[in-house]
Amino acid sequence: MFMVVFQLSEVHNKSNCTFFKFYTSGENAVIFKKTTDKSLSVAAGMLALISLTLMVMGAICIIMALSKSVMFFLKPASFCFIVSGVLVLISIIVFHQSVLALLASDHTIPLHHELSWSVNCVGCAGAIVIMAGIFFLLLALPYSPWEKCLPQHSSSDT
C-alpha cells in the first residue's frame, strides 16, 4: 500500500507532521474532515492487481521458455512484462489523482502532501519491468542484433 505524508500548515503556530494510511479507519477522517474518492482508489488497486497477474503470467512464460527450450514463449512474456509495467505506472498516476481528490474534498484545514518513498519504489519497479519486457523482446528476435551490427570475421581469411 502506498503511504502519503500530510503536513498541517501552521495550526496553532506549530507545524505538525502526521502520517496516516490512505484508507483511514474513520478517526483520522473525523480529525481532518477529508473524504476519499473510493472509485479512484479501487481503480488504482485493480490496475495494480491486473499488473501483478500479468507479471506472474510473464514469469510462467519465461520458466517455460527456459525449461523446455521453446523460444516461442519469449514473445508473450515480453508482451506481459511491457503491459504490466505500463499498468504499474498508470496505477501510480491514478493513485496520485485520488490523493489530490482527497485534498480537494475540504479546504478548512490546509494540507501539504508529499508522496512517500514507496511510490518511488513502485515507479522504479514499473520501469524495470518495462525494460525486462524490451530485453525479452530483443531475445525473441529471429536474428541476433549483435551479429547484424558486428559481423564476425572468419579466421580462414588470411
The pTM assigned to this predicted structure is 0.67
Contacts of 138 (CB under 8 A, 6+ apart): 145
Instruction: Assess if residue 158 is contained within a domain.
Output: no
Q: How many domains does the chain have?
A: 1
Kindly report the CATH number assigned to the domain that includes residue 39: 1.20.140.150
Asked whether residue 14 is assigned to any structural domain, the reply reads yes
pLDDT in tens, 63-115: 998 888 888 888 999 999 999 999 999 999 988 888 887 777 666 666 677 77
Q: What would you report as the CA-atom Rg of the chain, rounded to the nearest whole angstrom?
A: 23
Q: Would 111 be classed as within a structural domain?
A: yes
**79 contacts 67 by C-beta, under 8 angstroms:** no
Asked if residue 153 belongs to a domain, the reply is: no
- pLDDT digit string, tens, across residues 123-148: 999 999 999 999 988 888 777 666 66
Q: What 3-state class would DSSP assign to 20? A: strand
For residue 56, tell me if it sits in a domain. yes
Residue 132's alpha-carbon distances to 47, 53, 82, 109, in angstroms, are 19, 16, 8, 44
Q: What pLDDT sits at residue 50?
A: 94
In a domain, 151, yes or no: no
Question: Which residue range(s) make up the domain with 107?
Answer: 3-143
Residue 36 domain-assigned? yes
Check residue 59 and give its pLDDT: 93
**Comparing 13-22, 40-49, 92-101, which segment has the lowest mean pLDDT?**
13-22
Q: Does residue 152 sit within a domain?
A: no
